[in-house]
Every structure is written in C-alpha cells, then in structure tokens.
Amino acid sequence: MRGGMAARGSLFRQCPLLLPQNGEGTAYEGFVSAQGRDFHIRILLPTDSQLKNARIECSWHLKKILHGYRHILKQRLHSCPDLVSFVVELKTILEIALKNTQELHVPWPPEYYSCLVRDLEILGWNKVVYVDTGLTTVKLKAEDSRGRQHLITLKLNAKYPTEPPDCIVDFPAQFAISWMPQDSLVDIHNQFLAALESLKEFWDTMDEIDGKTWVLEPENPARCATSRRIAIGSNVSVNIEVDPRHPKMLPECYFLGADHVVNPLRTKLNNNMHLWDPEISLLQNLKDLLEIDFPSRAVLEKSDFTKDCGICYAYRLHGTTPDQVCDEPRCGQPFHQACLYEWLQGLPSSRQSFNVIFGECPYCNKPLTLKSSMKKP
C-alpha cells in the first residue's frame, strides 16, 4: 500500500490531471498534456498490475493523433517497468506525434462556440471558475450540502453538444455522466451535484479523521484519497483504507510500529470486531474497538510523531515516511524501509531469503527482520 501511495505521488507529478478511480490503483482517468493541450485518457490495469495486459481508452481525437504510433505504444507497454514510466513514454510519443500532425489548427465550427456560450449563460457565470482562450476547457464549481467546494473540469470537442465533454473530478469513485444531444452544461452540473451528495458520508468520515487526529500520510490528502495513516503514539500508527461507497463499515487496517506495541492493538481489533456499529462514526468505532484515544490535535503537535529516520536523518524520503521500527522497547528507532533495506544489505553478517532480509538494528544491534518487495540487485 505504501509503495502504491509513492507510485501515485510520482504519477501525479508527471500527470496532475490523471487521477486514480479506485482504491486498488487499477483504474486511472483524466488527461495527459502535450504542447499546451490536454487529451482525455483512461488506463485500466489488471489485478496483477501487469502493464502488458493494460487497456488504454482515449478520445477519438487522441486516437487519431496516435494512430501511426500504436506499435510503439504496445512495445512500451511490454517494456516499461511501471505505470509512471509508461506515462512518461506516452507523453514523449504524443509530443512527437503532435509535431508531425498537420491538422493541429483546423478551425472548429462557429456553431460550437455559439452553443457553448449560450450554455454557459444559462448555467450562470457565477458557477464558472475558468475558461481557456480557445473555449475548449471549462472548470465549474459546486458546493455540497456540507459547504465543501468542489471543481469539475470539462474538456470539449468540436462535436459538442452532439458528443458530451470529457469530465475530470477529484472523486474516490468513478464519475460517469449520462448524455443526450439536447443536454447542456446545466445537466452536467446537476449530475455533478448529485454525485457530490452520494459521496457526502465518505467525505464527512475523512474530514472527521483529518480534523480530530494527526494524519501522517498523505500529507495533503486530495478528495479522491481513500487511505489515511493515523498516529497512535510515538512511532506507532495505523493505516486505514476506507470504502467510499460504504464509509461507515470496518475499513482495512494495517498497523505500523514495533511488534510489542502493535500486536496488542491487532488482538483488540480482532477480538472486538463484532462490536462495530455502523450507526456511529468510523473514528469513534476505531476508538472503541482499539480501546484507545487517538492523540489530540489540541494537546500535541505533529512533530511529536514525525521522528526522523535513523539512517538518512530525514522524515520524508521520495514521498515516504519512516514505517519500520526497531522492536527493542529501549530503542524504538524508526527507519525508512528503503534505508533499512540498504543498510542491512551492506552488513557482512546479514542474510536474505527470498524477500526477507535478516540483520541487526544500526542503533542497538537487536536482530531485525525486514520483509521487502525490493529485488536484490
């Protein structure tokens, strides 16, 4: 899960408009940008995340531009090690394709512009946040019943309103609009509002967690983020994955910290699981089942839980935070997984069996066991 969060961060830096559509990280939808233009794309990964079996869906315009490069894209899907690498390759290929395309500046029909301006006036300019100079990208705003502000980005093509615009939203679940040729931006805005209300309980749940606990990761959660790593104590935390459609149900929980601290928490969770009450908030349920109070934001500072890695002496490393802790109670030093893995590999006394490496703590020499998905070089 932590690797997935880091990968999503890298993907966001490459394509900030390409967002995950589910918690498993198998569906991404949004836009890739090249030469100042945005192109709608959907990437569907199989459950084993093998890129060679991925399905790429895109707008008719992007499909036309990339038509002569399909064999190259297939080759890249087979050779790229991860989704971030493929997206970088895709953007490079798209840049080349655009430079070689002769139809970049074909004027759109006048009816398109008159229809779009009319729809914007009917919708109301007070709901419009942004319109680009070419009148092909429109950002609209809406407020849900809790007063939260949300944006929807519309990418229109020359066939509007016969064809609907592509929509991108910061949602934890897929947003698909129903569209008829006689529909307008008002219909999209109304469907957007209805979708906001359907996710109201999910955002209520996440807002309560963000407001009443110390969330270690993600640092600045987007509205689509379904996971939270919550501080329980010094070098002890729990990572939860919330179902956006059933936010009051028991989430997936993964404890991080020394075994002598987290094992009792796992036992309490398992023993008290039958007490989960969907009529009360997720946060209160977690408190009741774990028989704890999460550290208060009013009393403690986040720095009380953000202890630096004992090897690189930094808290954040490539977007990740220390998530490995020495199990010796008198030590309890935290480490980044990557730092500890590299340290243990450098010890003459360490040994490795498959994805498990055995060694000693750099501080107290207590035996350490590290499970890692990293491959031995």
Q: pTM of the entire structure? A: 0.63
Q: DSSP letters along 191-225, please?
A: HHHHHHHHTHHHHHHHHHHHHHS-EEESSS--TT-
Neighbours of 298 (CB within 10 A): 6
Architecture label for domain 213-290: Roll (3.10)
Q: How much is the mean pLDDT over the chain? A: 85
The CATH 3.10.110.10 portion of the chain extends over 110-200
Whether the per-residue pLDDT at 180 is higher than 90: the answer is: yes
CATH of 307-376, one of 3.40.50.300, 3.40.50.620, 3.30.70.1070, 3.30.40.10: 3.30.40.10
Q: How confident is the model at residue 105 (pLDDT cuts 50, 70, 90)?
A: low
Q: What is the mean pLDDT of residues 49-60?
A: 82
- Residue intervals of the chain classified under CATH 3.10.110.20 are 213-290
The per-residue pLDDT for range 128-168, each reduced to its tens digit, is 999 988 888 999 999 999 999 999 999 998 889 999 999 99
Mean pLDDT throughout 287-303?
81
Topology classification of domain 1-103: Ubiquitin Conjugating Enzyme (3.10.110)
Dump pLDDT digits (tens) for 237-267: 899 999 999 999 999 998 887 778 888 999 9
Buried b or exposed e, range 324-352, using 16+ CB within 10 angstroms: bbbbbeebbbbbbbbbbbebbbeeeeeee
Residue 278 and residue 249 in contact, taking contact as beta carbons nearer than 8 Å: yes
Contact 335, 327 (CB under 8 A): no
Domain 110-200: CATH superfamily, name plus number: Ubiquitin Conjugating Enzyme (3.10.110.10)
Q: Where along the chain do the CATH 3.30.40.10 domains lie?
A: 307-376
Flag whether pLDDT at 83 surpasses 90.
no
CA–CA gap between residue 179 and residue 92 (Å, rounded): 33
Per the CB < 8 A criterion, the answer to whether 249 and 279 are in contact is: no
Q: Name the pLDDT band for 374 (thresholds 50, 70, 90).
A: very low
The DSSP bridge partners found for residue 142 are 150
Is 70 exceeded by the pLDDT of residue 373?
no
